[in-house]
Structure 1
Amino acid sequence: MHFPGFGHFLLNKYFRGLSLFVWEIYINQTTKLNQAMVYSFTGNFDAAKEILDLKMVLMYIPVYLFAIWDSYRTTVDLNNIHTLAKREDAPFNSFSIGSFEINYLDKRNPIMAILWSLTIPSVGQLYAHRIILAGFTLIWTAIFMYNSHFLEALIYLVNGNLNKSNAVLDAQWLLYLPSFYFFTIFDSYTSTVENNKLFEEEQRKYLRSHYQNFNFSLKKESKVNNMLILATFEHTTYLELAMTELEEYGVKNILAVPLNNRTEERKIFDNLHQSDGVSLISKGMILAFLFSTVGASRGFEMEWGPIIWGLIGAGGGFIIGFIIDLFMKKVMKSKQRLLKGKNSEVVLIVECDQLLKERVENTLWKQLALGVAELKQN
């Protein structure tokens, strides 16, 4: 609802999202809709009516409503496809090499994605491996910043020249920034969370198909001088690196068992090791979109100006949304998630000759095993 095309970008529907986004920019610039919003929020309704092109506004409304409906419909369809794919245990691609980019599935920290997005829009998408959206975001960030004179106004503001800062800003272009900026933060966060979940699911399937055929020879009557080494890991690429390195040593019997961890109440923030996609920032980001737009609009008629009031609105909106989510979390205590901290997600059992014991253990520790133990033949 904040910006046509954003819902489709979240669903990786790039062509449809880009078409709706460009249409929004075109129709908004033609009708001067953002400037009319500024007049409306400051109580100057006659100026808002005068500046609007009513013929073009009537063209805007159907496309805006279609964008909302289509993103909802597509989400429902994709959820149904996900359910069917999960039941059928369908494979998915975790690595691709193309003419322009090498892309792969890996775990990332959602909080780092937020922090990177707070610096420059598009950096968070790069961190989450969303290359196409990152390039698109960077281009439009430059366009919005240049035409709104935001950076110029920010320099004047930092140097204490508030009147000059307010004077150079272009309201029509400035009001694109709140929605655009906070969307990139939210998108990088949710993309990182979902990629982490995909990585864990893909690795579970890989371990079950490749490392659950075992024939251990560690028996009392056996004359083979073998031993068992046990280790625990998280779902990371280091686990696969450890197994491939052990195979290079000639170790053949490797058993990998993914665990279903004990759960407790949902925590506030997702992180590298805990990503279920439900935290306390979703409503905060949405209200930050709204309140920062209103704050920036009102700021043109207020003492501190649109930049400061936009930031105040964003902060206030985020805090209100955070409190709403926190209250809902308290009410819905039945929902669960993983325990806090680093959890043992995979148990690795390795049978090897006792002469290889030290080498195997060093490899496991080097590849960030959470714990290592040995079991010898008595």
Structure 2
Amino acid sequence: MDNFQNTNKARRYKAHVSIFGTTQIHLRNPWTVAMWSVAFPGFGHFLLNKYFRAFSLFLWEVIINQVTKLNLAMVYSFTGNFEAAKEVLDLRMVIMYIPVYLFAIWDSYRTTVDLNNIYTLAKREDAQFNSFSLGAFEINYLDKRNPIMAVLWAMTIPSVGQLYVHRIILAGFTLIWTAVFMYNSHFLEAFIYLINGNLNKSIAVLDAQWLLYVPSFYFFTIFDSYVSAVENNKLFEDEQGKYLKNHYQSYIFNLMKLNKVDTMHIFATFEHSTYLELAITELEEHGIQNILAVPLNNRTEERKLFDNLHQSDGVSLISKGMILAFLFSTIGASRGFVMEWGPIIWGLIGAGSGFILGFIIDLFIKKISKRKQKLLRGKNSEVVLIVECGEQQKQQVERILWNKLALGVAELNQS
């Protein structure tokens, strides 16, 4: 059950909300998407919501990698044991692997460029789409979600952050493969030995072939959860702004009344949130119909370091950090098999070093870049609400507005 029945009269749509998740088109950096395909074929297509193609490439990567022992050969190569790398590698299957690997990178880049162009056209067409879906097994709706919470949950176990942002299909897929990778790599078993001080046994129990799937897989789920939360928030603000313009800008207020009147105007400012609509509908339940809602266009400034529930521009300084984190952690885990502290510790050191380096690179680019991006510092006024009511309704209206988290309330009484 959706709140909008698509007649398919529009040529392009920005989003589709179903019980399985929110599929949307938004602007992406083609190089970032391509780099995730470099990390693991299929990841770039998951970011683009191209699920069938992503599933095919992901499964191809795992099957061929297992047959050729490619990850194990990488470990031997990173540790300088090139003869062992040659011995374990199946050259017949590697030759089959290379064209598909390159295709995944090329196609994710090409598709991103195409979808960026399509998004521009869809935004100009601005076709309506459903924002609420109710089914027998699930409910999905547009709402604001905190990107930082998405990251924190994704850090606990891959897929949980994706469940938080309601990417049900991808979350279920990654949850299954998290269990597969963790079980076969003996990662958790090795981690228990490590925290109990048994370093040698921790190293011995690890399966290098399965372990090298973990870094790229883990950091991808964090990055995907974060980006999905940010873009979901932007989509919610866009849809709510359009709804307010269509439903609460038909009444014309006359603020300059010459004669004595028994009505007054109350002004309030809100963020884009569900509480704003709760305030409006509660006012209407109390018989107050003269309501004007005006979404604001906030000023543009430099990009922020991190997005959160109240501010999301989608260009925070984590993209390169996540990519370098998986790259350095893969190298660190590989080198750890012949170094004193073992694969887990060196993998964590590599992840931290990679993220910091990527963050510094993005920060440097930010400093020299002259492009402006949106920045909302803390809680900002995003919608102005004007309510016309009688003087006897003043306290009731203000109470409703404050209870629904208005950022500021003022009155204009010309009686």
Structure 1 equivalent of residue 369 of structure 2: 332
1:212-240 Cα deviation digits (max 9, x unpaired): 01144666456652111110000111101
1:271-325 Cα deviation digits (max 9, x unpaired): 1121111111110110011100011011111111100110111111111111111
Instruction: Measure, in 2, the Cα distance between the counterparts of 1:7 and 1:334.
Output: 26
Structure 2 equivalent of residue 323 of structure 1: 360
Instruction: Measure, in 2, the Cα distance between the counterparts of 1:99 and 1:65.
Output: 42
Aligned 8 A contact 1:218 1:224 in 2: no
Structure 2 equivalent of residue 173 of structure 1: 210
Letter in 2 for 1:115: L
Structure 2 equivalent of residue 259 of structure 1: 296
Give the C-alpha shift of residue 95 in structure 1: 1.5
1:298 pairs with 2:355? no
Give the C-alpha shift of residue 264 in structure 1: 2.4
Instruction: Measure, in 2, the Cα distance between the counterparts of 1:207 and 1:62.
Output: 50
Instruction: Measure, in 1, the Cα distance between the counterparts of 2:255 and 2:103.
Output: 65
Structure 1 equivalent of residue 315 of structure 2: 278
Aligned 8 A contact 2:293 2:384 in 1: yes
Give the C-alpha shift of residue 121 in structure 1: 0.8
Over the aligned positions, Cα root-mean-square deviation in angstroms equals 1.4
Structure 1 equivalent of residue 168 of structure 2: 131
3-state secondary structure, aligned to 1:160: coil
Instruction: Measure, in 2, the Cα distance between the counterparts of 1:303 and 1:205.
Output: 59
Give the C-alpha shift of residue 112 in structure 1: 1.4
Structure 1 equivalent of residue 399 of structure 2: 362
3-state secondary structure, aligned to 1:48: helix
Counterpart among 106, 110, 124 of residue 147 in structure 2: 110
Instruction: Measure, in 2, the Cα distance between the counterparts of 1:223 and 1:101.
Output: 54
3-state secondary structure, aligned to 1:241: helix
Report how many residues are paired: 378
Instruction: Measure, in 1, the Cα distance between the counterparts of 2:56 and 2:257.
Output: 70
1:235-284 Cα deviation digits (max 9, x unpaired): 11110111011111111110000111223222211111211111111101
Alpha carbons of structure 1 residues 317 and 201: separation in structure 2 relative to 1, 3 Å: same
Letter in 2 for 1:39: Y
The farther-off stretch of 331-340 and 269-278 is 331-340
3-state secondary structure, aligned to 1:280: coil
Letter in 1 for 2:263: N
1:57 pairs with 2:90? no
Aligned 8 A contact 1:218 1:226 in 2: no
Alpha carbons of structure 1 residues 358 and 167: separation in structure 2 relative to 1, 3 Å: same
Matches within 5 A, 1:3-152: 3-152=40-189
Aligned 8 A contact 2:313 2:373 in 1: no
Give the C-alpha shift of residue 334 in structure 1: 3.8
Letter in 1 for 2:236: F
Q: TM-score, normalised by structure 1?
A: 0.97
Letter in 1 for 2:104: A
The farther-off stretch of 76-85 and 291-300 is 76-85
Instruction: Measure, in 1, the Cα distance between the counterparts of 2:129 and 2:109.
Output: 24
Letter in 2 for 1:114: V
The sequence identity of aligned pairs, in percent, is 81
Give the C-alpha shift of residue 339 in structure 1: 3.7
1:142-171 Cα deviation digits (max 9, x unpaired): 111101000000000000000000010000
3-state secondary structure, aligned to 1:352: strand
3-state secondary structure, aligned to 1:212: coil
Structure 2 equivalent of residue 196 of structure 1: 233
Instruction: Measure, in 2, the Cα distance between the counterparts of 1:34 and 1:282.
Output: 24
Point out where structure 2 has 5 or more consecutive residues left out of the alignment: 1-37
Structure 1 equivalent of residue 10 of structure 2: none
Instruction: Measure, in 2, the Cα distance between the counterparts of 1:101 and 1:78.
Output: 29
Structure 1 equivalent of residue 24 of structure 2: none
Point out where structure 1 has 5 or more consecutive residues left out of the alignment: none
1:225 pairs with 2:282? no
